[in-house]
Amino acid sequence: MTNSSEFNSDLPNYKLCPKLLVGQKALVTGANSGIGQAVAIGLARAGADVIINYVTNDAAAQEVVKLIEAEGVRGMAIEADVSKEVEVVDMFAKALDAFGTLDILVPNAGLQRDSSLVNMTLSEWNTVIGINLTGQFLCIREAVKEFLRRGVRKEVSCAAGKIICMSSVHEVIPWAGHANYAASKGGIFMMMKSMAQELAPHRIRVNSIGPGAIRTPINTAAWSTPEAYAALMDLVPYRRIGEPEDIANVAVFLASDMADYIHVLFIFVDGGMTCYPGFATGG
């Protein structure tokens, strides 16, 4: 029987990425670490020019820009807090000024402020909802204005715009001690579906990805010790942690014309976490 860490080293070859997005312009929020960084590099590897948004750590953002440019495309970093309307509007103005237009938006920025219900402050609640949910709304609204203004650019894509919301398995799995986070991701579910209904006639595709346990700074405590990793594997039937590139690959596909007839899809990329593995032997 192979143990968890051996499974963990048995990763796919993430380099096999066709140039599906040549000529397209993308913006990824919260992209100077973790999933956002991997998505930004994945989109660049597929041929898109990519703007990354960040809120802290300019040095890390500039490193990601270098990695984007190393793929032979244009990269740029814009600082903005996605929960602040003025900053989001300003970010899109700068992005359009620099890149001319936009084809792909991945509203990915997010965080956790964990607390038991009775100890959760209004500030912890509002911070998480403000960034994880309102931040996505603000960025999507600004991106859609540009998609509607410009329409389809047949030379690069069949669609006028592609939006890929970053949700979570906690869109459907309740999470005690994280009511603010689960509510923000549950909110993305109906926000995305409602926006998708409104935007489809304009050839704007809206989908979302629900990552399971992905190895990033947001959840270091869940994978950084052997004990924590082993406990995590009880929740992951596929018996390995997800890597940010697992999410990037799906984002590239959803952004591409390979997925042109895919609209309002919630795709979980979670090694089976949403099949409730506790019920494999119980219930």
Q: By C-beta, is 20 or 269 nearer to ligand NAD?
A: 269
Assess 110 for contact with ligand NAD (CB under 6 A).
yes
Q: Which of 181, 229, 238, 261 is catalytic?
A: 181
Minimum distance from CB of 4 to ligand NAD (Å)?
Answer: 16
Q: Which of 26, 213, 236, 254 binds ligand NAD (CB under 6 A)?
A: 213
- Rounded Cα distance between 91 and 97, Å, is 10
Contact 82, 107 (CB under 8 A): yes
Assess 29 for contact with ligand NAD (CB under 6 A).
yes
Q: Which of 89, 120, 148, 218 binds ligand NAD (CB under 6 A)?
A: 218
Q: By C-beta, is 135 or 161 nearer to ligand NAD?
A: 135
Q: Which of 2, 5, 56, 224 binds ligand NAD (CB under 6 A)?
A: 56
Contact 234, 277 (CB under 8 A): yes
Assess 134 for contact with ligand NAD (CB under 6 A).
no
Q: By C-beta, is 46 or 213 nearer to ligand NAD?
A: 213
Q: Which of 27, 45, 47, 83 binds ligand NAD (CB under 6 A)?
A: 83
Please report, as residue ranges, which positions from 221 to 280 form the binding site for ligand NAD (by CB under 6 A): none
Q: By C-beta, is 62 or 219 nearer to ligand NAD?
A: 219
Write a three-state SS string for the chain. Answer: CCCHHHHHHCCCCCCCCCCCCCCCEEEECCCCCHHHHHHHHHHHHCCCEEEEEECCCHHHHHHHHHHHHCCCCCEEEEECCCCCHHHHHHHHHHHHHHHCCCCEEECCCCCCCCCCHHHCCHHHHHHHHHHHHHHHHHHHHHHHHHHHHHCCCCCCCCCCEEEEEECCHHHCCCCCCCHHHHHHHHHHHHHHHHHHHHHHHHCEEEEEEEECCECCHHHHHHCCCHHHHHHHHCCCCCCCCECHHHHHHHHHHHHCHHHCCCCCCEEEECCCHHHCHHHHCCC
Assess 126 for contact with ligand NAD (CB under 6 A).
no
Q: By C-beta, is 84 or 203 nearer to ligand NAD?
A: 84
Assess 214 for contact with ligand NAD (CB under 6 A).
yes
Minimum distance from CB of 111 to ligand NAD (Å)?
Answer: 5
Verify whether residue 229 is a known catalytic residue.
no
Assess 81 for contact with ligand NAD (CB under 6 A).
yes
161 strand-pairing partners: 204
Residues that bind ligand NAD (CB under 6 A): 29-30, 32-36, 53-56, 81-83, 108-111, 131-132, 166, 168, 211, 213-214, 216-219
Give the residue numbers annotated as catalytic, written as ranges: 181
